[in-house]
Each structure stands twice: as C-alpha cells, then as structure tokens.
Amino acid sequence: MPDALKVIRYDAVPPVAFGPLSEYRALVSDDEPELAVRTGIQTARPGYETKLHCHPYVEILHILEGVAEAWQQGLEQSKVMLRAGDTLVIPARTWHAFRVFGDQTLRLLGTHLSDQRTVHYADGTVSRGRTPPAAFAE
C-alpha cells in the first residue's frame, strides 16, 4: 500500500525568530528524516539582512512576496534583484547573503537539498536543524 499523503499546515508550524525582523517556519524539517529535502517559509520585514553564510548543499530560494537583493561573497558588485515569482539557485558551499529591498515585507520559500538544514556562518558558528545559533538572534 502506498504511503498516505501528509499535509503540513503553515499556521500549525511554530515560528522561529531569525533576529528581530524575521521569522522562519520549517515545513518539511528534521521531523521528516526519511526525506532528503528541507523546506521552510521565511518572512522578513524591511531592514532585514542575512549574515554571510553558506550550506554544504544546494539551496533554492523562491520569492513569494516582496523584493530581495542577493549576492555572492566576492561578487557584491553583481547583486541580483529577486521579485515575486523569481527563483535563485545557490550552489553548495557558496558564501552568500540577501536582504529585503524596499519597504515591503519579503516572504520566500527556501528549499535545502539535504536531510538536515545546515548553515555555516562567516564567524565560524554553525546552525543545524531549525534553530539559528544564539549569535544570530541579535
């Protein structure tokens, strides 16, 4: 018999603060160890900017609402603007960051091609799972 469909309700997922201007809701997370993918929706208010970071796997960002500006370390002069409907594919081990551009709230669906969400920050800290390191919650 095939596996049953599983529905994950956004409103049932507790938010995790990513600093004072952003929150993340893990949809497909470490609660699903048999899946080799992690997804979550991040909501960020104007003024939010990620810390420089990378992942040991491919990350895909789908912009749902708002506008983001993203860049790769060493190529800051080649920032890309991402609007609702745009998708950014970030290769594994690529140091990158993004920020909310403008005065609209940004909502994005992040897809991590891994069985565990892992984030390496430039300051040497590492976050695994859904909780960012203490240094991230400024």
Tens digits of residue pLDDT in 109-128: 999 998 888 889 988 888 87
Q: Considering the entire predicted model, what is its pTM? A: 0.88
Q: What is the pLDDT of residue 137?
A: 46
Instruction: Report how far residue 126's alpha carbon sits from residue 46's, in angstroms, rounded to the nearest whole number.
Output: 25
Provide the pLDDT confidence category of residue 76 given band limits of 50, 70 and 90: confident
| pLDDT tens figures, 7-48 | 999 999 999 998 899 999 989 887 777 788 999 999 999 999
Q: Which domains, and CATH codes, for the chain?
A: 14-128 (2.60.120.10)
The span from the CA of 96 to the CA of 91, in Å, is 10
Amino acid at 78: S
| % residues pLDDT > 70 (the chain) | 93
Residue 32 CA to residue 46 CA, distance in Å, equals 32
Q: Do residues 112 and 80 touch, judged by C-beta distance below 8 A?
A: no
Half-sphere exposure of 87 (CA within 13 A, CB side): 7
pLDDT of residue 61: 97
Q: Supply the pLDDT for residue 129.
A: 72
Tell me which long-range contacts 78-84 makes (C-beta under 8 A, separation of at least 24): none
Inter-CA distances, 95 with 26, 80, 98, 104, Å:
22, 15, 11, 25
